[in-house]
Amino acid sequence: MEENKSTPSNFIREIIDEDLKSKKHSLIHTRFPPEPNGYLHIGHAKSICLNFGIARDYNGMCNLRFDDTNPVKEDIEYVESIEEDVRWLGFDWDDRMFYASDYFDRLYEFAVQLIKDDNAYVDSSTSQELREMKGTLTEAGALSPYRNRSVEENLELFTGMKEGKYEDGAHVLRAKIDMASTNMHMRDPVIYRIKKATHHNTGDKWCIYPMYDYAHPLSDWIEGITHSLCTLEFEIHRPLYDWFLDALKLKNRPRQIEFARLNLTYTVMSKRKLLELVQEGLVSGWDDPRMPTICGLRRRGYTPESIRNFADRVGVAKRDAMTDVALLEHSVREDLNKHAMRVMAVLRPLKVVITNYPDDKTEEMETTNNPEDETMGTRKIPFSNVIYIEREDFQEVPHKKFHRLSPGNEVRLKSAYIIKCTEVIKDDKGEITELHCTYDPETKSGSGSMRSVKGTIHWVSAKHAVKAEVRLYDRLFVTEDPASDDKDFRELLNPHSLDILKECYIEPELSKAKTGDKFQFIRTGYFCVDPLSNDEMLVFNRTVALKDSWTKIDKK
């Protein structure tokens, strides 16, 4: 096999290289096993890129397998969203989409075999009793009074559980391992429980459901997975993963390998906390552009390429660490810089009347679509005697280093003319309502004029401008690590994470923009068209500002 050059090497790839070299495996087979109880987030994106990326780079296969062992929390809505997210990121599972529930019959048979081999027993203790007999980190657990039931009695009870003869909580099936183990997960873990709930995939066929720690290794084995990649919290579960494979004497076993999960500054990754944000109306939904969900990032304007590049940059480590969200922002900024059209948009408009420009005249000014990519060409933008500029581009009493528009000062309008402010118009309250300026007709951009000024600002023609709503998104939390802060994470929400500007003006070219289209608003940032846009009003979401803090961090 040719050396992989598309992605940096890491300890997982080194293990795979050795397995191929030793001929332990001839085909690499991975899987991405999401639980369909919520929407995927950027941490899952890292795992998707890892599992599908390894399969791609080693000419292997990667399955999409839904861990649907808890019908109470799962929903087909989440299944469909996960499929969409994986495809959007650029990966495909071909015909290998599975559910753990596809294997419920076989998992039941495996459980029967464990009972027959005296490796599992039915426990009739209450949930409270089960917790108490578990022991502590320093004290061994207590043996269940039901641990020595006969194989025949266990088989009869387990069959009754399957047939719905007992209520929820009446019995559980436990693996018979070691109640004195220093690993709490090895202390006779529950592997089946009664849940009389309708399952999104199997309906009402089952009223007993396997636990994840049981279903995980056996589903991997059934599918022929060679390398089962998990985040670090599953490291302590690995002995149990191997125990089930050993107890059932299964050959050609998968190998579980753990890697560090993604932790991102100013972000929470807990599904529970993200669900609470949605349920309590603290965000507009799972796809709120402030959320770290893949659908939220997509709506905000992130590209699949930027997220894949981010995952590569983060890499795969053996120990947990915190990644600066500025790296994620840098990745999308870098990608959009190459591909996004540069356009004029005025977010906080100030009216400018060019008094020596004819009222009835309109010119078309030529401007470059993207200086990073000449193949994107140029376009024409209309210019007239009344324009809008950014309010912050004018100061009545300019500070020393202010090189934009001020009384008596000149500034260049991008791709147009040099103008000079001659008069400031105010209302009864002393608020500036408009500026009067003159233009120098000899300074048209591209005309060869040698005259230059220090400042260049953007603008839009008032009579041609299209009104738009712009949503300025910022980080959702005010602290770097809201998950570890002593305060309730709700108290750490950024009150300025969303600023909605309803009186914005954009150049007419953008009137044809469609949902998801991405642009660089010159001098402002990168924006995309939100799904809430309609024929009456375009809505733009700020993906990221122009300023790149990561490059400064990286150079230190």
271: Cβ contacts below 8 Å, ≥ 6 apart: 37, 38, 41
Contacts 24+ apart (CB under 8 A), 169-173: 169/126, 169/127, 169/193, 169/194, 170/124, 170/194, 171/122, 171/123, 171/124, 172/122, 172/123, 172/125, 172/130, 173/111, 173/115, 173/120, 173/121, 173/122, 173/123, 173/208
Residue after which a domain boundary falls, among 424, 458, 492: 458
Residues 232 and 97 both lie in one domain: yes
- Give me the CATH number covering residue 232: 3.40.50.620
Residue 3 counted as domain residue: no
Residue after which a domain boundary falls, among 259, 289, 319: 259
One-character DSSP codes across 216-276:
HHHHHHHHT-SEEEEEGGGGGGHHHHHHHHHHTT-SS--EEEEEPPPEETT----HHHHHH
Number of domains composing the chain: 3
pLDDT at 3: 40
Q: Pull the structure tokens for residue 470.
A: 């712009």
Separation CA 512–CA 538 (nearest Å): 10
Residues 141 and 166 both lie in one domain: yes
pLDDT at 242: 98
Residue 6 counted as domain residue: no
Residues 362 and 506 both lie in one domain: no
Separation CA 159–CA 163 (nearest Å): 6
Residue 238 counted as domain residue: yes
Residues 162 and 247 both lie in one domain: yes
Residue 5 counted as domain residue: no
Angstrom distances, CA of residue 140 to CA of 37, 182, 431, 440: 34, 8, 76, 88
Residues 370 and 485 both lie in one domain: no
Residue 410 counted as domain residue: yes
Residues 164 and 248 both lie in one domain: yes
Q: Pull the structure tokens for residue 376.
A: 């994107």
The distance in angstroms from the start CA to the end CA of the chain is 39
Residue after which a domain boundary falls, among 211, 237, 259: 259
Residue 266 counted as domain residue: no
Residues 119 and 221 both lie in one domain: yes
List active site positions.
35, 261, 271
Residue 154 counted as domain residue: yes
This prediction has a pTM of 0.92
Residue 132 counted as domain residue: yes
Residues 238 and 113 both lie in one domain: yes
Residues 297 and 406 both lie in one domain: no
pLDDT, averaged per 10 consecutive residues of the chain (556 residues), comes to 58 96 96 95 97 97 97 93 98 97 98 98 97 95 98 98 97 98 97 96 96 98 98 96 98 96 95 94 97 98 98 93 95 97 98 97 96 95 98 95 95 97 96 97 91 95 97 96 87 96 96 96 97 95 87 55
Residues 131 and 280 both lie in one domain: no
Nearest one of 267, 459, 468, 479 to 351, comparing CA atoms: 459
pLDDT at 553: 54
Residues 508 and 412 both lie in one domain: no
Residue ranges making up the domain that contains 453: 348-458
Is the distance from CB of 48 to CB of 86 less than 8 angstroms? yes
- Give me the CATH number covering residue 483: 2.40.240.10
Residues 49 and 182 both lie in one domain: yes
